[in-house]
Amino acid sequence: MSFTKKLQSLFSWTHTKSLLIEGHHLEQKNKTSHFSRLPFCSMGDIYYAKIGVNIGWEIDKTRPVIIFQGKDRFLKNSGTIFIFPITSKIKMFDYRISFDQHDIHNNEKDINIHPSQILLTQGRCISRIRLGQKIGTLSECKLREIQSQFNLFLYKNTPLHPMDKGATQTALIKKPAIT
């Protein structure tokens, strides 16, 4: 993307973000709970989300995302959620989970789902205010695959990997050299 187009995208995103913030502040001023209008999200739900304009290799734009958090009471009442962005650009890289129309249940309004990939390396926490229309829910089988691959992404080649017998927290602490 050219520098000029990136700047135009940034200005457009700033306007969109200000509208989201304005709506949030109006609800607080009117003493209405902003949680009442925010969607109730469950693990595996897929929504469109306004991720915005980001820097470098961070994924951006309005795009589908998958909700990846449990049903903990705090998380349910939180204004933020953990998501993985979804792309339709298929690449054979590690930590990308492929899926298609057959892996989606409860497809809202029969939205056409192209073969896509869930980007585990781009996981992040976002405000629920950024969520738009619900698309559907990912199958349990694919959710288990995400959990397994995300565990590998987080803990592979780490002394604290759950599979490393005898690994302890002290393995990460280096003793200072004696001079």
Contact 64, 86 (CB under 8 A): yes
How far apart CA 25 and CA 71 sit, in angstroms, is 27
Beta bridge partners of 82: 125
How far apart CA 61 and CA 43 sit, in angstroms, is 22
Report whether pLDDT(47) > 80. Answer: yes
Domains of the chain from N-terminus onward: 39-155 (2.30.30.110)
Tally of CB atoms within 10 A around 15: 8
How far apart CA 96 and CA 87 sit, in angstroms, is 10
Mean pLDDT throughout 37-63?
78
Report whether pLDDT(80) > 80. Answer: yes
Model confidence over 91-131: pLDDT tens digits?
A: 988 889 999 888 888 766 666 778 999 999 989 998 888 89
Helices (H), 30-164: 73-76, 140-155
Contacts of 140 (CB under 8 A, 6+ apart): 44
Residue 174 DSSP class: P
Lowest mean pLDDT among 76-80, 124-128, 145-149, 161-165: 161-165
